[in-house]
Amino acid sequence: MVIAGEASGDAHAGRMLAELKALDHDISVTGVGGDTMRAAGANIIVDFSELAVMGLVEVLKRYRHIKKIFNQVVNQLKTEKPDLLILVDYPGFNLKLAKVAKKLGIPVLYYISPKVWAWRAGRVKTIKKSVDHMAVLFPFEVPIYEAEGIPVSCVGHPLVDAVKKQKTTKQAKIKMGLKLNKRVIGLFPGSRRSEVEALLPVMLEAAERVQMRHANVDIVLPVASGLDRDVVERILAKSKVQVKVVEGDFYQLTAACDAIVAASGTVTLEIALLGIPHFISYRVAPMTYRILKRLVRIPYVGLCNIVTSKPVILELLQEDVTAERLEQELNGLLNNKESKQHAEEIRQQVLTALGPSGGAHNAAQLVIKLLGTK
């Protein structure tokens, strides 16, 4: 059984499951996930879109619904008793599930570590009690678990292999049916409904301001896997901006952009690995932010900045997320002739920091090993 509670987890789990099926066709997989896991042959009992929410206050608002799904998954664990439970990130939900699995005698592999190096370091103690093996993405995470005597393997980040820059911006524009004589701005407001509702309106206002200054600018917006397109369409209906909304072809659309403003998350790693100029824009409920600011121990929210240990990507958070500031930064990326070269330099730095390749395959081999030792 595999549990992925959001789009990035579904993508990582799906890549790993595809490799797993190639190694052993007879493995049966059920769980929580989305289209990527379905495509890899998993039987999805709950779609992750039912769980995808960001922020402490936002989670509290949907607590009853999330608790109902948790109970459903627990019942599934009790009736099916899988040979292995694979938990993918999403710690608030998955660490509680790990405790249940431990009591049921079900081995637990945790794939993609909770960000214990950023906040809530005490979770390592919880992990030691209920998780049999950690499969981490970043080399710097290994000593954290080794220090506590927790079995750990650095399998490498799957995006090192998954994200390949195969087309130039011009070629990608042609592929996506975009005009070559226009610059393209990408609005990437996230994969969770709460993120989109908080960020897309201000992104659209900024895009409108850019278009007023530069008539030769097109706006594109990818709909994240698992996100209800109606959420996006309702917000777009209130805006004067003409936006090309795209489902699928994510890497092609990203490669076609000249500048991107993106919500914090795995997507920013993908944008960086495609060498596209971009910056991060993010905000949550004020109470959530005040709590997190006290708890978080690292100076960055963006993964590129975290893995390289320096601010290679601009982060605009909370009060800085205004239409005026977003417009200013987008104009800067569009008008600076060195933006592309700088983005390529960032790509190389991020690749180096991410470590070994073969992440999905390495994770699948670890699963086979754990199943064999059960």
Please report, for the chain, the start and end positions of each structural domain, with discontinuous segments joined by +.
Answer: 2-158+358-372, 169-354
Identical fold between 2-158+358-372 and 169-354:
yes
Kindly state the average pLDDT of the residues 15-24: 95
CB of 218 within 8 A of CB of 244?
A: yes
From 342, 337, 333, select the one nearest 304 (Cα to Cα).
342
pLDDT at 119 (0 to 100): 61
pLDDT at 63 (0 to 100): 73
Residue 295 has pLDDT above 70, yes or no: no
Only one residue has tokens 């991410």, namely 354
For all residues of the chain together, what is the average pLDDT?
A: 90
Kindly state the average pLDDT of the residues 270-297: 84
Residue 305 has pLDDT above 90, yes or no: yes
Residue 374 has pLDDT above 70, yes or no: no
Residue 317 has pLDDT above 60, yes or no: yes
More confident residue, 287 or 44: 44
What Rg value do the Cα atoms of the chain yield, rounded?
Answer: 21
From 198, 195, 209, 205, select the one nearest 239 (Cα to Cα).
205
pLDDT band at 10 (very low <50, low <70, confident <90, very high): very high
264: exposed, middle or buried (Cβ count in 10 Å: 0-12, 13-18, 19+): buried
Q: Going by CATH, does the domain composed of 2-158+358-372 fall within 3.40.50.2000?
A: yes
Residue 309 neighbours by CB under 8 Å, 6+ apart: 353
SS (H, E, C) the chain: CEEECCHHHHHHHHHHHHHHHHHCCCCCCEEEECHHHHHCCCEEEEEHHHCCCCCHHHHHHCHHHHHHHHHHHHHHHHHHCCCCEEEECCHHHHHHHHHHHHHHCCCEEEECCCCCCCCCCCHHHHHHHHCCEEEECCHHHHHHHHCCCCCEEECCCCHHHHCCCCCCHHHHHHHCCCCCCCEEEEEECCCCHHHHHHHHHHHHHHHHHHHHHCCCEEEEEEECCCCCHHHHHHHHCCCCCCEEEEECCHHHHHHCCCEEEECCCHHHHHHHHCCCCEEEEECCCHHHHHHHHHHCCCCCCCHHHHHHCCCCCCEEEHHHCCHHHHHHHHHHHHHCCCHHHHHHHHHHHHHHHHCCCCHHHHHHHHHHHHHHCC
Packed helices 266-273 and 7-23: angle between N→C axes, nearest 10 degrees: 70
Percent of the chain exceeding pLDDT 90 equals 65
Q: Per residue in 228-265, pLDDT tens?
A: 889 999 999 999 899 999 988 899 999 999 999 999 98
Q: Which amino acid is at 314?
A: L
pLDDT at 228 (0 to 100): 83
pLDDT at 161 (0 to 100): 87
**Beta partners for 246?**
222
Q: Going by CATH, does the domain composed of 169-354 fall within 3.40.50.2000?
A: yes
Whole-angstrom distance, CA of residue 220 vs CA of residue 175: 14
pLDDT band at 120 (very low <50, low <70, confident <90, very high): low
pLDDT at 203 (0 to 100): 96
